[in-house]
Structure 1
């Protein structure tokens, strides 16, 4: 209330008295706040575990998919031909000769100070359909802008080209196809589409002073060159995606000698998938261990306090951990995953031995890859059951605790109102008491004064 009550008449420290009374009154609210803090800590820990189990679910689900371990790498015998292997690749080898690289068409007009009249341009592409373009003026800038904003698939650039006899600046328009490949070829005409059809339009790229700098061209590679089976494969770009299944080939230089492309199973990638599963498990287990551990602290007075982590005694978390262990370590067709380097340790964790896994993979890739996918399938089911955003065990626990925190928060707020009212009542009570005591003291002083006056009068008489 902002009014000091201390010692007005009673001499009492009423502010301190009210503070002590309010501390006692607030004890139930303090318990509620402590519960909110504890539950919030639990929610944070559960959310962390839920996130890591979701990561495990995603990792395992990907690894469990059919063909997920059909991982290959591709190599080329020259830097002028880059190769990459992706899903669907298989072991094999192929020799090719890079005969040509894909290129755009580039041509330039004759030197001019302005586009000839009429200003209409018609561009005919590979399809043979004329596209009529009308710039806003005969300005070369307007002509270039109109071409560049059209759907012709051609760009136009104004390039300085000296001056004419009268000292006027001259320019050429350079025309380039936006894409590579033979189908990007084009012809530029001065005139309308009707003029082109009638054969009266001027071919800008064959007019005096003009030139075709570069013709549109497909990239091409030759397979089995020099044999009866010789075959030429073309591509509008320098990339070929259909030479070998799942292999992308990108040429950057022509070759005279055959280039060797080799595709082989990439055991390092398969090992990385298996290791990724174990790493995801370990990440979840590290968090569980940290949130379960018992910690001991000593305060400044030397008092020792021992506290267990928020997951200690949590049956759901313990069950999730055990099911994850079982999914990773249970036998597969009578064989322990430890035979493939995925081992359960004495302290209840999962470890990965890359060397042992690699050796097992080299000895029997079919069995090892099938085992990894079986483990991945089991882990995906377990981790999803824990972390599914709608039905997951951890998700439901988090939702339940969040509801509890909200309810507790409402109760804390209600106590704020109750305590404020109680404090106001105490302040009014003590204020009234001080006023009453002040009045009584005043009355006492008045009575004392009157009695003193009576005594004096009697004595005088």
Structure 2
């Protein structure tokens, strides 16, 4: 930093000289900065590795038991019958006839220009439960009261033309109950006591009223036409207890028997094996790539080498070994290669899809058991490394971040130290220039005095 002292007397480029001295003394700070940069790269790479480990651990957890690897497929002989099966479904077939679909009761009142049935109506459910509702002063208020009663019956006011005599607009009240036979209902103009006394008017039996659809359950008949015939009903068109782990959705009546077929599916296990091997191999490849030492030739022909961020890192090296062992160690004395999981001479782990499929076809229980055991081992390694509290990789990241913080503080200290050193050098050189200036002035004075003396002597 120039302070107006360059070459005032000495002719020296003091600014450049000071910069050179500071640069020489800043070598330690430069080394610290390089170390920070290297550590930050390592932290970034470790964080990426930890994220990949967490994802791998989650996948492994999802396939760590045989139950999680089971799968089933379900088909129906009728397009109107939809069927889905989960892993608990047992392979087999079932035949039945679809006799009815579930539906709600939908009824409409007679057309009217206004409500004249009195201040109270009573809804009576199919099981006999009575709910009184304030009718209000209009059909709209009556509908709102029914909807607010919480019985499951909903009311809608629908336009119904005009009155032939007065020309006033007419309306009907459309009532809809919940699906299933238990959703049946009646509507009476009057109180619950009047319903009991038989003096209340059945609104839905009045002239002009109608029931559009009656409440009914869905019904299927198993083994129809045999002595074992059995009817199964449901308030909805979804039968979720017909077979364990199987949901059946009905969309139409089928007089022709419908056959459901439940079969074992290998898709779940195959996908799990593929995801596990791919996840492990990707991590091992990343570790190998970032642990490599590469050589390059510069413009002058000199060869230089550079180490990867994981080169020589014991934590990462141990993790790679543990993952490889988790996948490739025998399961109950049997090599994973028997289910298509192999390792190459370069350390790459692969899954032979054809070999895995053949193993599943030959012995699905043993194959899924081996895959579950391998997944459980990978899960354990992944958790030990990536656990957010005490995982080995997590702790490595925390340690590096702490080291970076310490290095940055030391770099900051060096900023202060170098600034102080520069100020001292500037002061020193300024003093030198001042001293030289004084000497120069004194020399000039002496020279002038000598000149005067010599001049006097010559006279």
Inter-partner Cα distance in structure 1 for 2:189 and 2:436: 111
Unpaired runs of 5+ in structure 2? none
Unpaired runs of 5+ in structure 1? none
User: Partner residue of 2:368?
Assistant: 369
* TM-aligned CA deviation for residue 152 of structure 1: 2.4
Q: Deviation per CA, 1:31-56: give whole Å up to 9, x if none.
A: 22222221121122222222222222
Q: CA RMSD in A?
A: 3.5
User: Partner residue of 2:27?
Assistant: 27
User: Partner residue of 1:104?
Assistant: 104
User: Partner residue of 1:76?
Assistant: 76
* TM-aligned CA deviation for residue 256 of structure 1: 0.6
Distance 1:372 1:66, change over 3 A: closer
State the TM-score, normalizing by the size of structure 1: 0.85
Q: Deviation per CA, 1:220-258: give whole Å up to 9, x if none.
A: 111000101001111121111211111111111110111
State the TM-score, normalizing by the size of structure 2: 0.85
Inter-partner Cα distance in structure 1 for 2:18 and 2:69: 73
Distance 1:114 1:287, change over 3 A: farther
Inter-partner Cα distance in structure 1 for 2:169 and 2:432: 103
Aligned residues: 455
* TM-aligned CA deviation for residue 167 of structure 1: 3.4
Inter-partner Cα distance in structure 2 for 1:388 and 1:309: 25
Inter-partner Cα distance in structure 1 for 2:417 and 2:198: 96
Structure 1 window deviating more from structure 2 (290-299 vs 8-17): it is: 8-17
CA contact (8 A) 2:5 2:430 kept: no
Distance 1:440 1:262, change over 3 A: same
Inter-partner Cα distance in structure 1 for 2:108 and 2:330: 73
State the secondary structure of the residue aligned to 1:166: coil
Please show how residues 22-421 of structure 1 align to structure 2 within 5 Å.
22-116=22-116, 118-134=118-134, 138-164=137-163, 165-177=165-177, 179-297=178-296, 304-421=303-420
* TM-aligned CA deviation for residue 299 of structure 1: 5.9
Distance 1:205 1:28, change over 3 A: farther
* TM-aligned CA deviation for residue 73 of structure 1: 1.0
State the secondary structure of the residue aligned to 2:254: coil
Q: Deviation per CA, 1:342-382: give whole Å up to 9, x if none.
A: 11212112111111111122122232222222222322222
Inter-partner Cα distance in structure 1 for 2:137 and 2:48: 67
* TM-aligned CA deviation for residue 8 of structure 1: 9.2
Distance 1:446 1:315, change over 3 A: closer
CA contact (8 A) 1:43 1:398 kept: yes
State the secondary structure of the residue aligned to 1:371: helix
Inter-partner Cα distance in structure 1 for 2:36 and 2:174: 72
Inter-partner Cα distance in structure 1 for 2:361 and 2:304: 54
* TM-aligned CA deviation for residue 329 of structure 1: 1.7
* TM-aligned CA deviation for residue 182 of structure 1: 1.9
CA contact (8 A) 1:274 1:372 kept: yes
State the secondary structure of the residue aligned to 1:228: coil
* TM-aligned CA deviation for residue 58 of structure 1: 2.3
Inter-partner Cα distance in structure 1 for 2:50 and 2:439: 70
Structure 1 window deviating more from structure 2 (107-116 vs 400-409): it is: 107-116
Inter-partner Cα distance in structure 1 for 2:13 and 2:126: 100
